[in-house]
């Protein structure tokens, strides 16, 4: 009797928010909803899902894995790529979106680095998670390019603004976890988190003064900035990683809604 293996899909809620948050922000900012957007959605979803079996291959140790498991992962990798690659080719050829080729190569390099870090069990450090943020938030400029047909400064501005928001979650979560699991590192983590969000606030104010963004955009970041400084000085009773994951998704939803209205 054949063994049953679970379907390889990302289990972290935050990763899904990282993928679709910038995508929605970019699509809503241009107010364009058409066939290109639907094809792009299927394409990025397939590529995102393909990361899971690839990461499982990267984690294989010298002791190997259960019989048939590699074949199971390979099957799902093929399914996910069959969802994404045709869509990518369709967008490039039908709409002459040639810049998707170098963009895809760049994202592929980030993926390769991330898989290397996974193989070395270093994907959870700050550098590894920042690479993940850069790759996933690239859905913002890609969406802008696919819908408008050009790589404008607005596309890269949206990417930067999304990076600033989502990268903050890395420092915040590490700070909250360290309070319970690594108390000796809490002060360092709190300093990193506080410094990061103070820097984000300064950058946003600078963008407002330069006329790049509306002052209302800062409201989209306000909840996570207040949350970060509140958590530095007010301790929780216990660590609940699942609740942290769900609240990160909630904050992302709030960010997307406020950002779209403010933009």
Q: Do 214 and 242 lie in a common domain?
A: yes
pLDDT of residue 50: 95
pLDDT of residue 161: 98
Residue range 208-247, pLDDT digits in tens: 999 999 999 999 999 999 999 999 998 877 888 788 888 8
pLDDT of residue 10: 86
Q: Do 132 and 198 lie in a common domain?
A: no
Q: Do 45 and 69 lie in a common domain?
A: yes
Percent of the chain with pLDDT over 90: 76
Report the alpha-carbon distance of residue 258 to residue 223 in Å, rounded. 11
Q: Do 208 and 263 lie in a common domain?
A: yes
Q: Do 137 and 111 lie in a common domain?
A: yes
Q: Do 36 and 84 lie in a common domain?
A: yes
Q: Do 85 and 160 lie in a common domain?
A: no
Q: Which of 94, 128, 151 is the last residue of a domain?
A: 151
Q: Do 79 and 24 lie in a common domain?
A: yes
Q: Do 63 and 123 lie in a common domain?
A: yes
Q: Which of 116, 151, 186 is the last residue of a domain?
A: 151
Side-chain half-sphere CA neighbours of 216 within 13 A: 8
How many domains does the structure of the chain reveal? 2
Report the alpha-carbon distance of residue 124 to residue 121 in Å, rounded. 8
Nearest 5 degrees, angle CA 153-CA 257-CA 205?
50
Find, among 42, 35, 7, 47, the residue nearest to 95 by Cα.
Answer: 35
pLDDT of residue 68: 84
pLDDT of residue 217: 96
Q: Do 238 and 115 lie in a common domain?
A: no
| Assigned token pair, 139 | 């859905």
Q: Do 124 and 209 lie in a common domain?
A: no
Q: Do 106 and 20 lie in a common domain?
A: yes
Burial class (CB in 10 A: 0-12, 13-18, 19+), 24: buried
* 11: helix, strand or coil: coil
* Top-confidence residue, 11 or 38: 38
**40 within 8 A of 27, measured Cβ to Cβ:** no
121: alpha, beta or left? (left if phi > 0; alpha if psi -120 to 50) = left
Instruction: Check whether 46 has a pLDDT greater than 90.
Output: yes
Q: Which of 151, 168, 194 is the last residue of a domain?
A: 151
Look up the pTM and report it: 0.92
Instruction: Determine the structural domain holding residue 180 and report its residue range.
Output: 154-263
pLDDT of residue 237: 76
CATH number of the domain that 23 lies in?
1.10.357
Report the alpha-carbon distance of residue 69 to residue 3 in Å, rounded. 9
Find, among 10, 20, 9, the residue nearest to 166 by Cα.
Answer: 20
């Amino acid at each position: 009797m054949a063994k049953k293996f679970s379907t390889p899909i990302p289990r972290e809620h935050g990763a899904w928010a990282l993928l679709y948050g910038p995508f929605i922000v970019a699509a809503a900012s241009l107010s364009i909803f058409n066939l290109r957007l639907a094809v792009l959605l299927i394409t990025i979803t397939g590529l995102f899902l393909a990361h899971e079996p690839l990461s499982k291959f990267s984690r294989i140790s010298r002791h190997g894995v259960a019989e048939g498991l590699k074949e199971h992962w390979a099957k799902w990798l093929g399914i996910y790529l069959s969802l994404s690659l045709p869509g990518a080719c369709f967008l490039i050829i039908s709409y002459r979106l040639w810049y998707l080729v170098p963009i895809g190569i760049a994202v592929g390099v980030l993926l390769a680095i991330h898989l290397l870090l996974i193989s070395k069990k270093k994907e959870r450090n700050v550098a590894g998670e920042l690479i993940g943020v850069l790759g996933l938030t690239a859905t913002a400029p890609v969406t802008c390019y696919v819908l408008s047909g050009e790589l404008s400064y607005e596309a890269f501005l949206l990417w930067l603004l999304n990076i600033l928001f989502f990268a903050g979650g890395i420092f915040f979560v590490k700070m909250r976890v360290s309070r319970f699991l690594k108390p000796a590192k809490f002060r360092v983590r709190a300093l990193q988190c506080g410094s990061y969000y103070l820097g984000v606030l300064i950058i946003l104010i600078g963008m407002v003064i330069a006329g790049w963004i509306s002052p209302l955009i800062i409201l989209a970041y306000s909840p996570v900035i207040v949350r970060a400084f509140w958590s530095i000085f007010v301790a929780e009773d216990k660590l609940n990683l699942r609740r942290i994951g769900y609240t990160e998704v909630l904050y992302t939803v709030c960010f997307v809604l406020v950002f779209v209205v403010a933009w």
